[in-house]
Amino acid sequence: MSSFRCPLGLRAKKPWHVCPDEYDGSPFIKPKKFEMRKSPKHHTVPGGKAALGFVAVALAHAGFASAATTVNAAQDFTVRRNTGTATVEGGLHAKQSATNSTDRYLMLRFDSSIFGAGVTAVTFHITANPDTVTQFQGTYDYRIYGIPDLTANDELAAESGYDPNSGAVFDNSADMVDDTKLTLLGDVTGVNAGDTINFSNSNLLSFLQADTNGVATLVFTRVTNGGNSTFLDRNSASPPNLVIEAIPEPGSAALLGLSCLLILRRRR
C-alpha cells in the first residue's frame, strides 16, 4: 500500500500517511492517532515589516511638520484723530485726508500667549469692504506697526475707556502715529475694495516672537489721501486674523509617534 497525504489535512505520527476514509481494514496497517494541522495564529499589517517601517517614517515626518493655527482679533478699534475716542463705526475705518479732521487708523489686539520660539511663520489677514460706493472709494496704501511690550496702549481694557490722545501712539504727524514709540512692520500697497491683505515678513514674525505679556497689538494706518476705506471687523464673517505656522515641541511629537508604533506592534 503506497503512502499518501490525507485530503482532510490529517497527519499520522508515523512515516506513512493514512486517512481514515481510505483504511480498508488491512491487518498490516493499523490506523494511528491523527492530529489536525493548525495554522499559526498571527496578525499582520498589510505589507509586513516594510509597511511598518514606512508608517514609522511617515509618523516621524508628520510629527515635526508645521501646524497652522488661526487667531482672530480679540479686540479692534477705529481711532479718529482729535476726538479722544476709539470706536467701532460699523466696520474698521482707515483714512487719510487733506484736512486731518476725519483721519482714522485701526488698532487690532490679538491673544499672543501661543507665540514662541516654535513659531516659524505668521501671516496677518484683513479684508477690505467690497462696497465701492460708500465703504471703499479708491486704491490705497497702508502701513503696519506693532506696539512693543510694556507700553500702556498695549493693554486695551475697553473700547469705551480708551483715549488715544493721551496715549503714546497717537500724534498729529502725517501718518497719525509716533513712529519712535512703535515697531514698523512694513507697508502694503495697491489695496482695492474686496481685497484680502496677506501680510507676512520677518519683521512681523520677530515682533510676535518677542512678545512677553500675552497681548499683541497691531496699528494699521493709511498713508495715501482719499475717501473712505473700511475693513471687515472681528464680528464679520471674515474677521482680521493671524495665521501662525508652528513646529510642535520635539517631546510631544516623539510621544505621539511612539504611541502609534506601539499600537501597530500590539496588533501584530
Taking a C-beta distance cutoff of 8 angstroms, is the pair 205, 119 a contact?
A: yes
Q: Is residue 2 in a domain?
A: no
CA dihedral angle for residue 84, residue 87, residue 90, residue 93, rounded to 10 degrees: 60
- Percentage of residues in the chain having pLDDT higher than 90: 27
**Which has the minimum average pLDDT: 9-13, 91-95, 133-137?**
9-13
Contact 263, 257 (CB under 8 A): no
Position 34 in a domain = yes
Do residue 47 and residue 78 come from a single domain?
Answer: no
Per-residue pLDDT for 133 more than 50? yes
Judging by beta carbons within 10 Å of its beta carbon (0-12, 13-18, 19+), is residue 167 exposed, middle or buried? Answer: buried
Q: Is residue 25 part of a domain?
A: yes
State whether 220 and 156 are in the same domain.
Answer: yes
CB under 8 Å to 266, separation ≥6 — which residues? none
pLDDT band at 81 (very low <50, low <70, confident <90, very high): low
pLDDT in tens, 19-29: 444 445 554 44
Q: What is the pLDDT of residue 248?
A: 65
114 and 45 together in one domain? no
**Structural domain includes residue 121:** yes
Task: Kindly state whether residues 37 and 150 are assigned to the same domain.
Answer: no
Contact 153, 217 (CB under 8 A): yes
Tell me the mean pLDDT in the region 32-51. Answer: 48
Closest C-alpha to 76, from 185, 218, 243? 218
Q: Is the pLDDT of residue 49 over 60?
A: no
pLDDT tier for residue 151 given thresholds of 50, 70 and 90: low
pLDDT(111) > 50: yes
**The predicted structure's pLDDT at residue 263:** 54
Q: Are 35 and 73 in the same domain?
A: no
Domain boundary among the residues 38, 60, 82 is at 60
pLDDT for position 96: 78
- Same-domain check for residues 214 and 85: yes
Provide the sign of the torsion angle of the four alpha carbons 120, 192, 172, 84, taken in this order: negative
262 in a structural domain = no
Cα(177)–Cα(167) distance, integer angstroms: 10
Task: Round to whole Å and give the CA distance between 7 and 21.
Answer: 10
Domain check: are 157 and 75 in the same one? yes
pLDDT of residue 75 exceeding 90, the answer is: no
CATH number at residue 228: 2.60.120.230
Among 201, 196, 246, 220, which residue's Cα sits nearest to residue 71? 246
Residue of higher predicted confidence among 78 and 3? 78
Domain match, 73 and 164 both? yes
Same domain (yes/no): 100, 165: yes
Examine residue 188 and state whether it is found in any structural domain, yes or no: yes
Per the structure, the complete domain to which residue 33 belongs is given by: 10-60
pLDDT per position as a tens digit, 197-244: 999 999 999 999 888 888 888 989 898 888 899 999 999 999 999 999
In a domain, 217, yes or no: yes
Last residue of a domain, one of 44, 60, 76: 60
Same domain, 52 and 76: no
In a domain, 197, yes or no: yes
Domain boundary among 60, 83, 98: 60
Q: Give me the number of domains the chain comprises.
A: 2
Q: Are residues 178 and 144 in the same domain?
A: yes
* pTM (two decimals): 0.65
Chain mean pLDDT for the chain? 71
Looking at the fold, whether 174 and 107 belong to one and the same domain comes out as yes
Task: Give the residue from 191, 238, 240 showing the smallest Cα distance to 218.
Answer: 240
